Amino acid sequence: MKARITVTLKNGVLDPQGKAIEGALGALGFDGVDSVRQGKVIDIALADTDKDTAQTRLSDMCEKLLANTVIENYQIEIL
């Protein structure tokens, strides 16, 4: 079973990487870019065949390793 986990910074958390991209886009002549935020995406292939078990295990992985829940949100999508 394949899943995609998207980890994004919570609102209000500073995102210097996003700001750098915003600046670079401006320097390349792309105007009208109001904001840029960068996050990460993690594609996992699991041996589980049951959707619910997979979902629970993935939440667990996010809480324990993949996301820093103090400053990041995560979203799990079973593909």
**What is the binding site for a copy of itself (CB under 8 A)?**
6, 8, 18, 21, 24-25, 28, 30-48, 57, 60-61, 64-66
Q: At closest approach, how far in Å is the CB of 62 from a copy of itself?
A: 11
Q: At closest approach, how far in Å is the CB of 7 from a copy of itself?
A: 8
Amino acid at 6: T
Q: At closest approach, how far in Å is the CB of 44 from a copy of itself?
A: 5
**Contact in structure between 4 and 75 (CB atoms under 8 Å):** no
31 is written with which tokens? 């105007």
Q: How many beta carbons lie within 10 A of that of residue 65, not counting itself? A: 9
> Judged by CB, which is closer to a copy of itself: 34, or 70?
34
CA separation for the pair 31, 51 (Å, rounded): 43
